[in-house]
A and B are shown apart, each in its own frame.
Chain A
């Protein structure tokens, strides 16, 4: 029983409810954040909160392939970029509706993921990491040279996206809660996917590829499908980030960002979904906090990561379980 509760990934009931429990606690904390911000009278914090929620979406989407499919994509920031530029490009044509922007972001992301995934999945391990990085950089340089949208310098957005033709998202607080709603909806979706027939095949391929082929599953089509789903979901985070910053630039899709997404997933504990959300919170808070204290924060963050990997290879999720286990 304790063993099953510790494993967390193969879709056993106890592990499953642990995942949902952690997520629900996180969602409750997120929901309570705006009142705290109002009490503190620091409205800028709410924007930081929205940024954290957006990265939580992206990290969770990456966990779907990294944690459950053992596909370490080092080019996932490209999808943040597609999301952000979908907002910029469509709004420059007067299309401000967020649903249409998300649809466009997903369509472009699906196409990019389909093509680059089909090529990348011919390799594995370090080669897969390198080739996804290369494709990510290709997307980065494409937007760098897109002079109509400011090239390197980026492009300022004239307004927030609209929802059903209404200017609801202009309020930072409403926008925050809308993003939280997106995160919760997408978590539910990912949770269903990993427990479904498809999710089992994906997890099975992570566990033992030869075995899966020997019972009749050709890996490619399942892994590619997961790769496309993950790219589409990550682009939603890009749509949010563009609106949060009211600005888009190729910096959204630099390889540093891709690395940060991996760090979030690993920090939170791979293959848990809720861990990725927690990892995004922890990584961004540390970044804000250390960044305010010292300009060498990257160094300290690096040291922290090394310690984390040494002492809790299964991330924050593993740490929490260790603490829970030792209390029992």
Chain B
């Protein structure tokens, strides 16, 4: 059975069809990449899967359970986490606090009014472990707003990981990251493969073809091709619709 299943999903903004009859199956442990040109509707698709936006029609199931109308926080508690293309952090909080709050969301009640959260060793310990995994442990005490762009992207990933997900939706985790930092990031994602079921939106073709088990190509809201990386890469329709454009861009 597929872990995440999308059937006939549709979403329009006025006359613009941003998600046009999209169907997807992501098997447990699989890394499924979605590529497509700017404005293809990738972020909008993630927004619907995560519960930030309601689709106009269609169905989304997680482990067979219909979650199409479930609010975002409830999906997270079912193990569906996402990262954002545009970094979403708590700027006045430290790096550690950002991650500890995500741990707190999963563990114990947040209706506790007296004990100081900063001294909660359970939260801090789990948060530090996640920061280590994201390569940010040496920045734990720094205010999140003071991080570099690359560090922001790693914090974005760390926060998603700290919710203890089963399924990860990653919306261009490498956006704006280049060079060695990008290589290290790809290595980190590769190390995570198999532990989570992942839906990866990514522009970086090298990263996609190195990481993905399956690739789907989204153009104008429609999936025009889907399959193993090699097959998709050689698909003539894909080359003209997307990969060709990429080269000239």
Interface residues of A (CB under 8 A from B): 3-4, 7, 9-13, 192-193, 195-201, 203-204, 207-208, 210-218, 222, 225
Contacts and interface: CB of A to CB of B under 8 A. Distances in A.
A221 to B, nearest CB: 8
Contacts of B81: 214-215
A216 B163 contact: yes
A223 to B, nearest CB: 12
Interface in B16-42: none
Contacts of A196: 112-117
B106 A198 contact: no
Nearest to A210: B88
A35 B112 CA distance: 41
B94 A215 contact: no
A216 B162 CA distance: 11
Contact of B76 (A3, A4, A199, A216): A216
Range, interface on chain B: 35 or more
Contacts, number: 119
SS class of chain B's interface: helix, strand, loop or mixed? mixed
A217 B143 CA distance: 22
Contacts of A214: 50, 52, 72, 76, 81-82, 84, 88, 160
Given A200-B101, A216-B73, A217-B110, A207 B115 contact: no
Pick the 8 closest A-B CB pairs, nearest first: A216-B76, A216-B105, A207-B90, A211-B88, A215-B102, A197-B112, A218-B73, A10-B92
A65 to B, nearest CB: 14
Given A196-B112, A198-B112, A204-B101, A216 B146 contact: no
A10 B94 contact: yes
A11 B73 contact: no
Contact of B101 (A195, A215, A218): A215
B93 interface: yes
B159 A215 contact: yes
Contacts of A207: 90-93
7 contacts: A7-B143, A196-B116, A196-B117, A200-B101, A207-B90, A207-B91, A218-B74
A211 B89 contact: yes
A112 to B, nearest CB: 21
B77 interface: yes
Given A3-B146, A208-B88, A215-B105, A11 B120 contact: no
B104 interface: yes
Nearest to B93: A10
